[in-house]
């Protein structure tokens, strides 16, 4: 199987891999790249929102193999913007967590700035919104605190609440790991309650327990892959988390939980993609709950095609526009779920069915 479509894509994946692992890229892949090849690499990095990760890797190349001056200048400006946004977002998040804790709440940061700590250079990971989870008993009080920052709260189809804090959109969630199948969700809630009972201490960026954080990242990728699309940045999150959290959770419990949630084939696909395209060693990847033969038979190519086609959360799909209003956005999301139904059914059929039911209900009644 040839995993890369072109020499430029192979060079791009090499930069992403080395940016995640803080290693030196293979200079031979860049010797014949030229201006056109570097332009293609830049476009891929922008579409997949990994410009900062790639930058940290190509800075290790010999001077004669760097991007052309004009492209390099634009790339540096983009990276500076990423670093500035991350500093501002970190300050807004720390302040928000302080206010919530002063109100007796126990927020946990989902993805974003929580995951960025797994990267060699956290400030180079591009962040989007701020996502926070609160235990069910605290959610109403959390919404009241949010209204103090922004009285124009928005109720979303997934029951989350959005508001603005420090110039950033914040989403307050009722689910730490968003599983749709009712029986599996109830089982997961029990695990979450047990694992989160001890709290998060005094960390300025409170993060989930290791096993739950890995599940959260994997399920987040799955839900977007089933719908509007997902980008390479989220795959980087998964790989960096696998590497950082190896040994910090029980592999047997992780595998058993995957089987209970019906996502074993999905985890196996993520693992196969990580190994094929990035050379991630099997020993740092979590067990999927499938035996070796079944897991090895799962091809990651369909997932990679979704990543290639739409880039970051499907924003680069042909005909996609973020400026056509809420109704158009809802219809687009529903259409993409239908279009990817066969893919979803091949990796997590029960979860895919319930995710679509809940999506349809939310789109109609929200």
Question: Tokens standing for 209?
Answer: 């327990």
Q: How confident is the model at residue 366 (pLDDT cuts 50, 70, 90)?
A: very low
* Across 258-271, average pLDDT: 96
- Listed in sequence order, the residues at least 6 apart from 103 whose beta carbon sits closer than 8 Å to its beta carbon are 141, 145
pLDDT(330) > 80: no
**Alpha-carbon gap, residue 304 to 306, rounded angstroms:** 5
> If pLDDT is split at 50, 70 and 90, which confidence band does 332 have?
low
3-state secondary structure of 170: strand
User: What is the value of pTM for the model shown?
Assistant: 0.92
Q: What angle do CA 204, 174, 336 make, to 5 degrees?
A: 110
324 by Cβ neighbours in 10 Å (0-12 / 13-18 / 19+) ranks as: exposed
Percent of the chain with pLDDT over 90: 77
Mean predicted lDDT score pLDDT of the chain: 90
Does the pLDDT of residue 112 top 50, yes or no? Answer: yes
């Amino acid at each position: 199987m040839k995993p890369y479509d072109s020499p430029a894509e192979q060079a791009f994946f090499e930069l992403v891999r080395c940016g995640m692992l803080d290693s030196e890229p293979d200079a031979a892949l860049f010797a014949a790249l030229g201006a056109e090849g570097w332009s293609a690499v830049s476009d891929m990095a922008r579409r997949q929102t990994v410009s900062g990760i790639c930058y940290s890797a190509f800075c290790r190349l010999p001077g004669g193999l760097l991007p052309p001056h004009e492209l390099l200048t634009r790339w540096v400006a983009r990276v500076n913007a990423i670093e500035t946004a991350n500093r501002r977002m970190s300050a807004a998040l720390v302040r928000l967590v302080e206010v919530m804790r002063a109100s007796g709440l126990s927020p946990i940061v989902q993805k974003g700035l929580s995951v960025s700590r797994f990267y060699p250079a956290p400030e180079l990971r591009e962040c989007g919104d701020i996502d926070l989870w609160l235990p069910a008993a605290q959610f109403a009080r959390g919404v009241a605190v949010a209204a103090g920052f922004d009285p124009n709260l928005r109720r979303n189809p997934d029951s989350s609440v959005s508001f603005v804090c420090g110039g950033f959109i914040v989403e307050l969630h009722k689910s730490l790991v968003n599983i749709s199948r009712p029986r599996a969700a109830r089982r997961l809630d029990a695990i979450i309650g047990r694992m989160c009972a001890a709290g998060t201490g005094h960390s300025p960026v409170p993060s989930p327990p290791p096993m739950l954080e890995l599940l959260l990242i994997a399920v987040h990728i799955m839900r977007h892959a089933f719908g509007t699309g997902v980008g390479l940045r989220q795959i980087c999150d998964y790989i960096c988390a696998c590497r950082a959290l190896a040994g910090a959770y029980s592999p047997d419990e992780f595998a058993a939980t995957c089987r209970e949630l019906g996502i074993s084939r999905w985890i196996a696909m993520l693992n196969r993609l990580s190994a094929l395209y990035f050379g991630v060693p099997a020993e740092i990847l979590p067990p999927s709950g499938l035996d070796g033969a079944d897991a090895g038979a799962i091809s990651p190519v369909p997932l990679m095609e979704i990543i290639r086609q739409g880039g970051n959360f499907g924003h680069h799909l042909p005909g996609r526009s973020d400026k056509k209003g809420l109704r158009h956005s809802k219809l687009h999301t529903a259409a993409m779920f239908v279009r990817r139904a066969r893919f979803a059914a091949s990796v997590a059929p029960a979860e895919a069915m319930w995710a679509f039911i809940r999506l349809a209900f939310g789109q109609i009644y929200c």
